Structure formats: C-alpha cells, structure tokens
C-alpha cells in the first residue's frame, strides 16, 4: 500500500489530475466532513488512485453510494426526473465524482427519492410523560417515517421555559442514534402560563429554534405583542396555537349541530379565528414571523390568505387528520377522535384542502400527540386531546392530496420540506450536490394498511388504524448511511 508523504513525487501525482495542481490541504478538506460542493476533484479522472495514496483512512472516509433507477423529486429547484443519485462521504455528489467500482449500489426500482421531510409539530412527552413517548422513541419513529428534522413542542412537565431545559432536551436528542434531528421550541411565557414573557433571549442562546405556548396561547394581547417584539429582534419565529381560551371553555369537539346532538360542549370556530386575527395584527405591528399551528377553520385560512397577500410574514400549517375527518365522523366511544383544535365542519375541511393545494397553508405538520391507553380510556370528555401522527403522515397526505385531489407530487413535497424550512429559516431541503444526504425512498404505488405493530412511537392512539393508504417511506438514509431496515419494508 502506498503511503502518502510530502515529497516531489507525491506532489507530482497530486498535480496529475487534468494537469491542475491541488494542494494537500485540499485533499484533507476533501476527505473531511465539509468538502466544498464545487470541489475540483469533480473533474479528476484519477480520483480512485488519489484515494489509494492515503490507504485505509481515506477509503473509509470516501464511502460512496449510487441510488440507481430513482425518480428524483427536488423541492428546491422543482425538478422531477428519472435517474441516479450519487452520495460520497454522506453528501450528495455529482456522478463524475464517483468511481463505479468503489461505490455501493442501491436499486430504487423506479421509486421516488426525496430529501427527508420536516415536521414542525411533534410532542415528545419527555420530561414528564415518558410512558407515552420519549425523545428516543419519538425521534426514531420520526426518522423511520421519513422525517429528517422535527420541531418538538415545549409543553412537557415541566414545560421547557428555561435555558437549562432547552439544553437538556438537545442533549437527550444528541444521544439518540438513528433519530431525526431535534429542533427544540421553547415557551413564549414563563411556565407556559401566559402571564409573563419568558427569557426569550436566553432561550435562543441555549439553542431554542422557535417560541410557542402550544396547547394554549397567551390570552392577553400585550403579552403576545411583547413576545413578538422580542422574537423579531432575535430573528426567530413564533408558532401559535390560535385558540381563544375565553371561547374554548371546556369544549371537547367542534361546536355545531353534531356537538348539540351529542350533548357535549363544543369549541366554536370563532375561538381560532379571533386569535389568528389578533396574531396577524400584531405581526403587522411588530414585524415578527408568525406561524399559525394546526389551522382548522375556513375563516382561519381566509385570514392567512389575506395576510400573505399583504406581504406579512405569516404562515400556517394544517394536519393530516384535519384534512381527513369532520365533526360528523367523531364517535364519542372512540377518544382517539378527540383532538385540539377539534375536527371541524365539512366546509372547513374543504377550505383547508384548498389552502394546502394553493399554498396559503405552506406547511403540513403532524401534531404528533402520543397518549397512553390508560389516558385515552378515560372517556371522550376526560381523555387528553391528540393522536399519534408520524407513521401515518406520508400515507394520509399522499392519499388525500395527491391521489384524491390531484396535487402535483412536487407541491405535496414542498408542504413537507421547503414550506417548513422557510418558517424555521433553514436552507431548503434539496438533492443538490454538496447537501447532506438525508434521504427518503417513497413507495407510492403499493397500498398498505396501518398496523399497530409497525409503529415505533411508544403510543398507538390513532383512528387511522386499519386504514388503507398509499405512500410511505421504505428506506431512509441519514448522512448517506442507510438507517436500519424500515419495519414495514419487507
């Protein structure tokens, strides 16, 4: 084996690539983690020889993979084309960079390869309710379901409202092997009580990615306004659970004919609309980036449409379950239908679908809300709201939007990638050379039935159990390495 030493002969060999001279630091940079996308080695025909100079060390670092026969959909530039995808050392590469004899090959068999998805809205339940979910189970479930990044909500017990809590959450996530990357949101107000704005500056310094009191919203305008002012100065978004607590009362489903017929208290649509209107007004005054979580009403969509037309930095998400069910579907004997905000009217659902199709709602998000069997067994009125959503997210939204409503796959993908990335201020997920190879292989042609034993989340509270869906992740790669077999792929 040749050993790389400084010396005339080796310098000559390093110059040998199309006659250009490459310095040794360049080779070091190339084998390191962050070689530049526009690396001159792209055009180096003697690349495999270059590799052998440094023996085993370089060989290990230069792990190469070709994903063949793929339908590559790139939400960043809008391309949707057939071809191969090349990965070197954990990053997407140009085909000319790869020495075919050294690369591992994965046959995509015509299936879709996309950048890993982003979920803006996940409850990991740690600390405080580890029986329902933990950081490890939630992040692994997310990765296997096709998500590369998730934003965890801070309404844990205790809530994540101090820098120490933010740091602890990020430490827990860093210890999870094969998980999605955690972005931790922190509370808007101290103890999530809505009375005094939390130390947003310290929370941001500790690594918080966004601010939210998810589960509720600060009821007083003056508190939200101060929070927006300070978040705007920090350049971080506010994610708001838009629901007026004075109108929400003890409601357990959408207020309307269905709730009256069933004799249970309802949550009126006005509870959401009033807070969305307030948040838009305050975004206009403060310049803060405001993202409305789990939009559930037609009028909410209309407010966001008007705000965006005005050029305000306002965005919105909706969930797979709000795109699927309405209040008429709610069965009081099945508390898995209890969610917050509630499943609304037929007209609301149609407006949400239109909002996603046209891009007024630029994001889809799961609101993954795990609960134990015991917690959901307390009966509809007493059970906590929420359903698990990671494992079914791709299937439900692909089936509903792409198959039933004819949404172009690229647009569907953007609601799960570039839309959320823009909210968070992240670079757009992409298949461009140089970008870390966090990828997902999607099978959208084989129907599958939702089964409890395929869930990696700790909880199973979903009314989608037994549903037939199209679309799911069948292989996932994290930094170019295939994460262990997806349980439902075989």
Piece in contact with Zn ion (CB under 5 A), picked from 73-81, 239-247, 328-336, 349-357? 239-247
Of 64 and 253, nearer to Zn ion (C-beta) is 253
Query: Among 91, 172, 241, 254, which residue interacts with Zn ion (rule: CB under 5 A)?
Result: 241
**Residues 308-347 interacting with Zn ion (rule: CB under 5 A):** none
* Cα separation values, 313 from 75, 103, 390, Å: 21, 44, 27
Number of Cβ within a 10 Å radius of residue 427:
11
Q: What is the CA radius of gyration of the chain?
A: 24
Distance CA 354, CA 410 (A): 16
Q: Is 443 designated active site?
A: no
> What residues numbered 414-443 form the site for Zn ion, per CB under 5 A?
none
Q: Among residues 214, 248, 317, 348, which is the contact residue for Zn ion, using CB under 5 A?
A: 214
List Cα–Cα distances, 400 to 324, 409, 412, 486, in angstroms.
7, 12, 10, 23
Q: How far is the C-alpha of 103 from the C-alpha of 67, rounded, in Å?
A: 10
State the catalytic residue, choosing from 89, 213, 244, 367: 367
Q: Are 292 and 316 in contact (CB under 8 A)?
A: yes
Nearer to Zn ion, 90 or 386 (CB): 386
**For Zn ion, the closer CB: 327 or 367:** 367
Q: What is the dihedral of CA 377, 380, 381, 385, to 10 degrees?
A: 80
The residue among 423 and 440 lying less far from Zn ion, judged by its C-beta, is 423
Contact window for Zn ion (CB under 5 A) among 75-83, 127-135, 212-220, 399-407: 212-220
The answer to whether residue 240 forms part of the interface with Zn ion (CB under 5 A) is no
> Minimum Å distance from CB 193 to Zn ion?
16
Residue 102 half-sphere exposure toward CB, CA atoms < 13 A: 23
Closest CA to 253 of 242, 267, 263: 267
Whether 442 and 471 have beta carbons less than 8 Å apart is answered as: yes
**Which among 173, 139, 108, 62 has a CA at the least distance from the CA of 441?**
108
Nearer to Zn ion, 316 or 409 (CB): 316
Site string for Zn ion, 168-207 (x = CB under 5 A): ----------------------------------------
Q: Which stretch, 92-100, 162-170, 175-183, 208-216, contacts Zn ion (CB under 5 A)? A: 208-216
Binding footprint of Zn ion, residue count (CB under 5 A): 2
Catalytic residues: 367
| Footprint on this chain of Zn ion (rule: CB under 5 A) | 214, 241
């Amino acid at each position: 084996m040749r050993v790389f030493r400084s010396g005339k002969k080796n310098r000559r060999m390093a110059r040998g690539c199309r006659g250009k001279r490459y310095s040794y630091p360049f080779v070091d940079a190339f084998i390191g983690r962050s070689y530049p996308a526009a690396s001159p080695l792209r055009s180096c025909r003697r690349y495999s020889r270059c590799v052998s100079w440094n023996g085993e060390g370089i060989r290990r670092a230069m792990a190469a993979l070709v994903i063949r026969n793929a339908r590559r959909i790139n939400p960043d530039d809008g391309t949707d084309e057939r071809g191969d995808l090349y990965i070197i050392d954990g990053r997407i590469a140009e085909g000319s960079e790869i020495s075919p004899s050294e690369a591992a090959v994965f046959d995509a068999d015509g299936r879709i390869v996309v950048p890993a998805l982003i979920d803006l809205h996940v409850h990991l339940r740690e600390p405080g309710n580890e029986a329902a979910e933990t950081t490890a189970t939630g992040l692994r479930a997310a990765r296997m379901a096709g998500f590369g990044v998730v934003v965890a909500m801070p309404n844990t017990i205790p809530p994540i409202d101090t820098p120490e809590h933010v740091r602890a959450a990020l430490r827990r996530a860093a210890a999870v092997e094969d998980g999605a990357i955690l972005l931790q949101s922190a509370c808007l107000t101290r103890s999530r009580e809505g009375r005094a704005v939390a130390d947003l500056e310290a929370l941001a310094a500790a690594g918080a990615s966004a601010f939210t009191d998810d589960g509720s919203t600060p009821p007083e305008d003056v508190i939200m306004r101060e929070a927006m002012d300070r978040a705007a100065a920090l350049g971080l978004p506010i994610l708001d659970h838009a629901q007026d607590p004075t109108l929400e009362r003890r409601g357990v489903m959408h207020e309307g004919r269905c709730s009256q017929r069933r004799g249970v208290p309802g949550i009126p649509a006005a509870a959401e609309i009033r807070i969305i209107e307030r948040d838009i007004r305050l975004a206009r005054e403060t310049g803060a980036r405001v993202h409305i979580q789990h939009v559930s009403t037609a009028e909410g969509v209309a407010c966001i449409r008007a705000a965006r037309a005005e050029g305000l930095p306002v965005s919105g998400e909706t969930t797979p379950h709000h795109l699927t069910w309405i209040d008429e579907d709610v069965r009081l004997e099945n508390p898995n239908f209890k969610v917050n905000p509630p499943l609304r009217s037929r007209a609301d659902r149609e407006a949400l679908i239109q909002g996603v199709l046209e891009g007024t709602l630029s994001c889809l998000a799961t609101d993954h809300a795990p609960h134990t069997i015991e917690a959901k067994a307390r009966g509809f009125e007493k059970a906590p709201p929420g359903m698990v959503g990671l494992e079914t997210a791709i299937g439900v939204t692909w089936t509903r939007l792409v198959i039933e409503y004819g949404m172009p796959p690229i647009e569907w993908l953007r609601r799960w990638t570039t839309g959320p990335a823009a909210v968070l201020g992240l670079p757009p997920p992409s298949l461009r050379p140089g970008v870390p190879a966090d990828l997902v292989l999607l099978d959208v042609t084989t129907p599958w039935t939702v089964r409890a034993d395929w869930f990696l989340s700790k909880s199973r509270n979903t009314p989608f159990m037994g549903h037939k869906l199209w679309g799911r992740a069948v292989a996932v790669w994290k930094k170019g390495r295939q994460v262990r077999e997806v349980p439902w792929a075989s």
